[in-house]
Amino acid sequence: MSFLRLLSRNRLALAGLIVMSVVVLLALLTPILPLPDPDVTNTAERFKKPFSEGALLGTDHLGRDLASRLMWGTRLSLAVGFAAAVAAATIGAAIGVIAGFYGGRVDNVIMRGVDMLMGFPYILLALAIVAALGPGLLNALIAVAAVNIPFFARNIRGVTVGIAHKEFVDAARLCGMSNARIIITEVVPNVIPVIVIAMSTTIGWMILETAGLSFLGLGSQPPQADLGSMLGEARSALITNPHTSVVPGAMILVIVMAINLLGDGVRDALDPRLKSGALSRPMPTTMVRRKKPVPQPEGDGILSLRDLQTQFHVKDRIYKAVGGVDLSVRPGECLGIIGESGSGKSVTALSIMGLVASPPGVITGGAVHYKGEDLIGAPYETLRRLRGDRVAYIFQDPLATLHPLYTVGAQLIEAIQSHHRTSTSEARARAIELLKSVRIPNAEARVDNYPHEMSGGMRQRVGIAMALANDPEVIIADEPTTALDVTVQAQILALLDDLRRERGLAIIFITHDFGVVAQLCDRVAVMYAGRIVEEGPTDAILNAPAHPYTARLMACVPELGQGRRQLAAIPGLPPVVDKLPAGCAFADRCPKAASACRSGDIDLGPFGPARKIRCIAPEIPVQEATA
């Protein structure tokens, strides 16, 4: 039912459906419509123009009524195209199901043959078949059906292979059902939707192809005429009496177009990926829709976030991934952001430079000040100039984040040349220098490697080198060590630490690993459900966590040599960010939660001289905050 609703929502598909229904209805009604005999010739009345007396669409070169011939021809073309589609689908599906269900050698032999047939230029094979069988409409039908069989066989085989290993097929087998019965009762019903989609996308082709063979004189033979042979016969009078060509040609166009519209609609309605709207590409910058006034810059940070809010708008749902984040980082300082997956830390980081995928991402409020200038809502060109030049990113998983088809050198050179006018040889020298600075051995040779030729640790170093390419002032590192083993991780952290001390870099370091925070960060902010729940100097927070969530999160971390301690998982799950509870988002999982925790919004308030906390029942008294 929802399928029909989806289809009807697609206006183009609906138009196709209506046109097709009208054409089919007219074709069905043709025998009882008051039309002249399509085959009666009257040479005295030949080539009458359309809309003339007694002949709505005029007459052809033998004086036959074109309107009548058009209707009968349409009827024939539709019937032949449909028959070819059904024949190809049935035989192709049967072959595909057998190949997919039995697998092994049967599959191998069948699919080799199918691939062979698909290797033929399509129409050539149809021509060869017609050549063997002789011209004629039925033979043209057989030829068109035959050349389409491989397409169905291959599609259906793929689906069947998936089904043949499902539990319900195993269950049927264990019940002692025969293979034939399993195929008919379990497999076939599941492949029918695929057959329907494949048919809806190919039936237009088949009508075109049979018309084409008839056009060549290899299909329907006179006096019987489908749309293709009407067009073929009219060709000799094309210049003197174009209407005899336009009438059947336009009809083919209308039919095939309506079928294609309908076929696209059916495919879109049945393809779950399109349903969720996942197939849309992100725009160059994140969409900004700020309703409230933009906060003014304050503090001495080189980069500061003020009440930043980023949401994902998926259909009617709104996911508040970042719900008002305030952060600031000074030159030479490393700020850690820590939290579970889905806490909004990556989205916060990506929002800074407008890199959140949009659609569906929207920045709905707040500001990001870089040296006092607001980046949210800045024009694209301003952002582009700052990206990678002043504010650079290091991403997680460098296999996915480096371009697979360019050498690392080419990607480094591009990073440099996007911001500096330098010759390629100069940029290349600089690229090698950068690779050396991140301690890649044999940098002169490595510069010409592709990402897939490097190890994970090496690729991550390339990612760092790329971030350093233009001597940025801020580096935003989004879990850059998560995919790496511990020794490589330690090297990379040491490298980043050196860099910020040598070059006075400000680093925002996103992680879910307290060990990394302890090693590298001066300050740390703990995020939960899109907001910061605790912030302060790293030592103070790690020694004496004040927010219950921080405390629970740290209790989950195993420590070497302390095997007796119980690892306590946090009960429950983080809240879904499209339905946040009122008050503290952690209340449902917090052992200390009181009714006051659930009533109103809780501010991120000061806790001792250097810390902030979003909690009314801290784990420790405020006097111990500086411990």
Partner 1 sequence: MTGYIVKRLISAVPVLLGISVIVFLIMAMIPGDPATAILGSYATPENVEKLNRDLGLDKPLVQRYFIWLGNMLQGDFGRSFSLNRAVLDEVLERFNATLVLAGTSFVICSILGVAAGVVSAARQYGLADKAITFAVLLGISIPSFFLGMMMILIFAVNLRWFPVSGMWPIYGARDLSALVSHLTLPAIALAVVATGVIARLSRSAMLEVLRQDFIRTARAKGVHERSVIWRHGLRAAMVSIIPVLGIQAGFVLSGAVYIEMVFQWPGVGRMLVDAILKRDILLVQGGVVFVAACYVLFNIAVDVAQSLLDPRIKA
Among 319, 395, 528, 549, binds partner 1 (CB under 8 A): 395
Cβ proximity to partner 1: between 345 and 611 the closer is: 345
Q: Which stretch binds partner 1 (CB under 8 A): 169-177, 299-307, 318-326, 347-355?
A: 347-355
Q: Do residues 610 and 540 touch, judged by C-beta distance below 8 A?
A: yes
CA distances from 309 to 295, 303, 446, 524, 615 (A): 12, 16, 41, 20, 20
Angle 438-439-444 (CA atoms, 0-180°, nearest 5)?
100
Q: Where are the beta strands (DSSP E) in 163-316?
A: 287-288, 303-314
Cβ-based neighbours of 355, under 8 Å, separated by 6 or more: 285, 286, 387, 393
Gap between the Cα atoms of 15 and 11, Å rounded:
6
Among 39, 307, 340, 397, binds partner 1 (CB under 8 A): 397
CA distances from 473 to 109, 232, 409, 502 (A): 62, 72, 23, 12
Cβ proximity to partner 1: between 414 and 426 the closer is: 414
Gap between the Cα atoms of 15 and 369, Å rounded:
51
Residue 69 parent element (H or E): helix 66-102
Q: How many CA atoms lie less than 13 Å away from 418 in the CB half-sphere?
A: 20
Residue 611 parent element (H or E): strand 611-613
Q: Is 580 in the site for partner 1 (CB under 8 A)?
A: no
Binding mask 295-334 for partner 1 (x = CB under 8 A): ----------------------------------------
Gap between the Cα atoms of 470 and 483, Å rounded:
25
Q: Which stretch binds partner 1 (CB under 8 A): 175-183, 243-251, 524-532, 551-559?
A: 243-251
Among 26, 123, 488, 555, binds partner 1 (CB under 8 A): 123
Q: Which stretch binds partner 1 (CB under 8 A): 254-262, 309-317, 577-585, 600-608?
A: 254-262
Among 384, 436, 503, 598, binds partner 1 (CB under 8 A): 384
Q: Closest approach of Cβ 422 to partner 1, in Å?
A: 15
Q: Closest approach of Cβ 273 to partner 1, in Å?
A: 10
Among 162, 284, 504, 609, binds partner 1 (CB under 8 A): 284
Question: What amino acid occupies position 582?
Answer: A
Gap between the Cα atoms of 262 and 240, Å rounded:
36
Binding mask 71-110 for partner 1 (x = CB under 8 A): ----------------------------------------
Q: Which stretch binds partner 1 (CB under 8 A): 162-170, 252-260, 368-376, 617-625?
A: 252-260
Q: Closest approach of Cβ 346 to partner 1, in Å?
A: 11
User: Which 130-169 positions form the footprint of partner 1 (CB under 8 A)?
Assistant: 130-135
Cβ proximity to partner 1: between 231 and 615 the closer is: 231
Q: Do residues 186 and 125 touch, judged by C-beta distance below 8 A?
A: no
User: Which 422-461 positions form the footprint of partner 1 (CB under 8 A)?
Assistant: 450, 452
Helix (H, G, I), strand (E, B) or coil at 281: coil
Among 304, 311, 401, 489, binds partner 1 (CB under 8 A): 401
Among 466, 524, 541, 585, binds partner 1 (CB under 8 A): 466
